[in-house]
Structure 1
Amino acid sequence: MELSKSLRTARVVGVVSVVVVLVLLSTNGAESRKHWVFDYFEYSAINCRAHSASLTDFGGVGDGTTSNTKAFQAAIDHLSQFASDGGSQLFVPPGRWLTGSFNLTSHFTLYLHKDAVLLASQDEHEWPVIDPLPSYGRGRDTQGGRYISLIFGTNLTDVVITGENGTIDGQGALWWAKFHKGELKYTRPYLIEIMHSDNVQISSLTLVNSPSWNVHPVYCSNVIIQGLTITAPVTSPNTDGINPDSCTNTRIEDCYIVSGDDCIAVKSGWDEYGIAYGMPTKQLVIRRLTCISPFSATIALGSEMSGGIEDVRAEDILAIDTESGVRIKTAVGRGGYVKDIYVRSMTMKTMKWAFWMTGNYGSHADNNYDPNALPAIQGINYRDMVAENVTMAGRLEGISGDPFTGICISNVTIGLAKKAKKVPWTCTDIAGISSGVVPQPCDLLSGQGPEKIVACNFPTDSLPIDTVEVQTCSYWGKYL
């Protein structure tokens, strides 16, 4: 059974709640009441759990002002003992649960009730500082370390973060202000980061106002990200939606993203650090994505791609009021490669560029990058797309002496805006072919006449992540 079908079934099943009122007499004879809520729900996951607990069992208070950082960590520490005994799940009931960062464990599910809101603490003391990623060599905002993510895990096996569209609110305005004022001591935290882990599921959640990136699986394999609603002000800095980074075998499906940066940014390390670490992102599937991002891309490949990006398959994509549809970002000094990229069935409405490739995205980790480390960009396939109200069809800029090659664009119709650029395409240092593209591409794409129709490639085989089977899991428990 595919996860998408199972999740739709779970939403129909919903949550069944029975309220049991226990009447207790106080010592002075007055009557008082405690309201116990017994909850039953079903959900789809890569694995079910034998043991369960509620956050309230560990002193959690959902009043929006009491810190629950210790309650979360105490609950997870307790439940970790069941990792080898059928695993465990932690239920977050209705309420507003203020918390700093907490770490997950293996064979574990974190489940948010539909009326549960995790509120990220505004107290920096609740955000430990950790080392920069080895494939980056430094933090993204500043030199040195970075604040740990709100929900964090490393070296895990079989971890699920899900719910009935419960909410994780990063309360990012404080962090955005520090970024703009240059007051950050360390790189801002993300909402969810899972590192060095295998068999990861992040699904059926609403993520809002992240301090920076929202979802960041890094150095992971077998990752499913599905059914997420991610929103942030479109002017918020670097609030990327989903950033698969040096990951293998990843599936991103059925997500709605409004972002101040790229909706999906595919990465694999930065300059000499990414080259040395040498872990590519590969076997990535992106399906049924809706993106709104007026100042960034629907799908970005790079700019940190020094470990390589290959075999990316994206289809059924809707971009609305977004700067670019598909963007490749790289530079001299990046090294690495972006190859075997396949995008089809994309609809774009109100765009600055439908296609954008640039080899001069010159943001570097430091001055120690190798100026002879040239990226290889090849095998880029775009097909079966329509766009309307577009300022410029394509801006394709390779690197002098290092052209981007093997570009194929077919069956693409781009409707230009009333105030569109007079020249719809600009192309330098690229090579490829086109067929059935309107308006006519630049000569470097050597347009094919109607007598020679070319259909750009899109693989017909399935990746291993598409064969992952899920189970219908359940929870039965009580909370006050």
Structure 2
Amino acid sequence: MRIEGMRLVCGLIVVIVLLNSKKSESRRSKSGSRSNSFEYNAINCRAHSASLVDYGGVGDGKTSNTKAFENAIRNLSQYESKGGAQLYVPAGKWLTGSFNLISHFTLYLHQHAVLLASQDMNEWPVIKPLPSYGRGRDAAAGRYTSLIFGTNLTDVIITGDNGTIDGQGAFWWQQFHKKKLKYTRPYLIELMFSDNIQISNLTLLNSPSWHVHPTYSSNIIIKGITINAPVTSPNTDGINPDSCTNTRIEDCYIVSGDDCVAVKSGWDEYGIKFGMPTKQLAIRRLTCISPYSATIALGSEMSGGIEDVRAEDITAINTESGVRIKTAVGRGGYVKDIYVKRMYLHTMKWAFWMTGNYGSHADSHYDPNALPEIKGINYRDVVAENVSMAARLEGISKDPFTGICMANVTIGLAAKHKKQPWTCTDIQGVTSGVTPQPCDLLPDQGPKKITACDFPPENLPIDMVELKKCSYTMKHA
């Protein structure tokens, strides 16, 4: 098992070296490719295209391009029903505040294009809190609109040749730490009440808060995204599907100051009333580094429900926990039918963590009788090395977490591991082929039960979506 652990570390180092060498090679190239043709894969191709420079865009890193984006998108909206439109962002540094997208639209970033988020707070409109949260997460009032925003849209693509969106979040993090924010920090990308979404082949840096936040949306593909923020930065989650249906997250590499992927569905009484779950979610080939948070978190805002989540081929190194379920009395809702397989962990505080006492509440009006239902949590084919504690599993008194299943799990404890590798209270479940020996509340069913915790055999609808090959020739290279 230690050999497997070393292979994991070596493999991750190779991934990081390749990523860094690719970026170094990109940076060595001169700004602006001489080729004016490019192609990419997308859920839909567009009949019309234009460049940001056609609308007065200036890529010097100093001039505000907020109006250029607004004018370009407003003009291109005439093509929504005529084959759709694409806005091309050439090589350069494009300073901008928040701007809104439209339906049947593609935003495409050249590999040497960098969107720089403005630090002028006048370029960030304030909007109402999310209805399933009832308040802003940083402050009780409203929230700043995300850098790239859209609502009530269909067929939206944000992609590129690994172009970069830099949130320049340090400005916001300082304001947050000093408690000077009147409103909740913006995200980098947020699409609300929308359908048929693709976010792919981009590098996202230093978001003021969460990096990617699809919410109240469906039929979503998030693929080939690199996210990087300081591991000490506050609440810089990677990808947060929130009250979304039929989503796949694939081939993403995330270093962040919070959960790499956080699955959510509303907060306390507001989430219960709104009643929109996250379901039919696939997470594949995710690599995560987050020393103070989880690789995949379910909750803590889960009051609308979370169900049918399938995670496979997950790699995490120097991350606090592998999969973490966060809930509390007052949350209501449920987390059920969760399936995880082929997870490779190295240097963790906990491989598995479930807690029913995550105490943060939206306000004092939550219902103390609203108990969450946690059941059908399945892990199989997990290898972990250098782990301080195998699992911390804490249900709720008179509301136990049930249907926990672990099969073919090997956890290598660190030299200075906790004396008791398992902590289990108010849970029920079974195990098969788990090392070290689990707690008594997770009895071993023997080798004949090794097929326990299997994935559902049927595919999710989002897996049937195939990307088309789109190609364009631009006026501006």
Q: TM-score, normalised by structure 2?
A: 0.93
Q: How does 1:212-291 map to 2 (within 5 A)?
A: 212-291=209-288
Identity across aligned pairs (percent)?
Answer: 78
Q: Structure 1 residues 55 and 451 mapped into 2: Cα distance closer, same or farther (>3 Å)?
A: closer
Q: Which of 204, 208, 219 is the aligned partner of 2:205? A: 208
**449-458 or 322-331, which moves further after superposition?**
449-458
In the other structure, the counterpart of 1:354 is 351
Pick from 79, 97, 106: which aligns with 1:100? Answer: 97
Partner of residue 8, structure 1: none
Establish whether residue 405 from structure 1 lines up as the match of residue 425 from structure 2. no
Match of 1:464 in 2: 461
1:430 alignment partner in structure 2: 427
CA distance in 1 between counterparts of 2:475 and 2:293 reads 44
Structure 1 counterpart of 2:18: none
Displacement of 1:451: 5.6
**What is aligned with 1:112?**
109
Q: Relative to structure 1, is the Cα distance of residues 457 and 82 closer, same or farther in structure 2, using a 3 angstrom cutoff?
A: same
Task: Please name the residue that 1:73 is paired with.
Answer: 70
Q: CA deviation at 1:475?
A: 1.5
Q: CA deviation at 1:459?
A: 1.1
In the other structure, the counterpart of 2:3 is none
- The offset of 1:456, in angstroms, is 1.3
Does residue 133 (structure 1) correspond to residue 130 (structure 2)? The answer is: yes
The residue number in structure 2 matching 1:192 is 189
Is this contact kept in 2: 1:38–1:478, CA < 8 A? Answer: no
Cα–Cα, structure 1 residues 36 and 247, in superposed 2: closer, same or farther, change >3 Å? Answer: closer
Question: Deviation of residue 453 (structure 1)?
Answer: 4.0
State the distance in 1 between where 2:33 and 2:170 align.
Answer: 36
Q: 1:341 aligns with which of 335, 338, 342?
A: 338
Q: Letter of the aligned partner of 1:270 in structure 2?
A: W
Question: What RMSD, in angstroms, separates the aligned Cα atoms of the two structures?
Answer: 1.5
Query: 1:36: Cα distance to partner?
Result: 11
Shift of 1:45: 0.3
Q: What is aligned with 1:447?
A: 444
Q: Deviations over 1:279-310 (max 9, x none)?
A: 00000000000000000000000000000000
User: Which residue of structure 1 aligns with residue 315 of structure 2?
Assistant: 318
- Give the structure with the higher percent strand: 1
Q: Given that residues 108 and 158 in structure 1 are in contact (C-alpha distance below 8 angstroms), is that contact kept between their aligned partners in structure 2?
A: yes
Contact 1:36 1:478 in 2 (8 A): no
Residue 301 of structure 1: aligned partner: 298
Q: Which one of the candidate residues 38, 63, 66 is aligned to 1:41?
A: 38
Cα distance per residue 1:192-233 (max 9 Å; x no partner): 000000000000000000000000000000000000000000
Residue type of the alignment partner of 1:424: P
- Out of 153, 163, 166, which is 1:166 matched to? 163
SS in 2 for 1:227: strand
Are residues 468 and 364 of structure 1, via their aligned partners in 2, closer, same or farther at CA, if it must alter by over 3 Å? Answer: same
1:107-153 CA distance string (max 9 Å, x none):
00000000000000000000000000000000010101000000000
Structure 2 Cα separation of the partners of residues 452 and 172 of structure 1 = 49
SS at 1:78 equivalent: helix
Counterpart of 1:244 in 2: which secondary structure?
coil
SS at match of 1:444: coil
The SS at the match of 1:240 is coil
Q: 2:57 aligns with which of 34, 56, 60?
A: 60
The answer to whether the Cα contact below 8 Å between 1:154 and 1:196 also exists between their aligned partners in 2 is yes
Question: Could you tell me how far apart the structure 1 residues matched to 2:387 and 2:204 are?
Answer: 29
SS in 1 for 2:462: helix
Q: Which residue of 2 aligns with 1:421?
A: 418
1:448 CA displacement: 2.2
Distance between the aligned counterparts of 2:53 and 2:270, measured in 1? Answer: 43
Pairs within 5 Å for 1:76-91: 76-91=73-88
Q: Is the 8 A contact 1:38 1:477 kept in 2?
A: no
AA in 1 matched with 2:368: P
After superposition, what is the alpha-carbon deviation per residue over 1:60-105, rounded to whole angstroms, capped at 9, x for unaligned?
0000000000000100000011000000000000000000000000
Distance 1:356 1:109 in 2: 39
Contact kept in structure 1, 2:227 and 2:255, CA below 8 Å: yes
Structure 1 54/453 Cα, relative in aligned 2: closer, same or farther at 3 Å?
Answer: closer
- In structure 1, C-alpha distance between the alignment counterparts of 2:449 and 2:90, rounded to whole Å: 61
Tell me which residue corresponds to 1:180: 177
- Corresponding residue pairs, total: 449
Amino acid in the other structure paired with 1:461 = E
CA–CA distance in 2 between the matches of 1:467 and 1:454? 26
Greater CA drift, 129-138 or 456-465: 456-465
> For structure 1, which segment, 369-378 or 464-473, has the greater mean C-alpha deviation from structure 2 after superposition?
464-473
Q: Which amino acid aligns with 2:241?
A: P
Kept after mapping to 2: 8 A contact 1:434/1:454 = no
Structure 1 residue 38: Cα displacement: 5.7
Distance 2:62 2:184 in 1: 25
Which residue matches 2:384? 387
Deviation string 1:265-288 (CA, Å, 9 cap, x unpaired) is 000000000000000000000000
Q: CA deviation at 1:474?
A: 1.2
Post-superposition shift, 1:454?
A: 5.0
Amino acid in structure 2 at the alignment position of 1:440 = Q
Contact 2:259–2:296 under 8 Å retained in 1? yes
Secondary structure at 2:408 match in 1: strand
Matched, 1:377 2:374: yes
Whether contact under 8 Å (1:448, 1:454) holds in the other structure is: no
1:452/1:93 CA distance change after superposition, 3 Å: closer
Give the distance between the partners of 2:449 and 2:352, measured in 1 at CA: 23
**Does the 8 Å CA contact 2:324/2:354 hold for their aligned counterparts?**
yes
**Does structure 2 retain, via aligned residues, the 8 Å contact 1:383–1:412?**
yes
Tell me the distance in 2 between the aligned counterparts of 1:119 and 1:68: 10
Gaps of 5+ in 1: 1-10, 20-34
Separation in 2 of the partners of 1:164 and 1:392? 41
Deviations along 1:167-193, whole A, 9 cap, x unmatched?
000000000001111111100000000
Q: Tell me the equivalent position of 1:26.
A: none
Please identify the structure whose Cα radius of gyration is greater. Answer: 1
| Structure 1 counterpart of 2:192, one-letter code | M
Equivalent-residue separation in structure 2 for 1:131 and 1:85 (angstroms): 33
Q: Distance in 2 between matches of 1:36 and 1:341?
A: 45
CA contact (8 A) 1:261 1:297 kept: yes
**Structure 1 length-normalised TM:** 0.92
Give the letter for the 2:146 counterpart. S
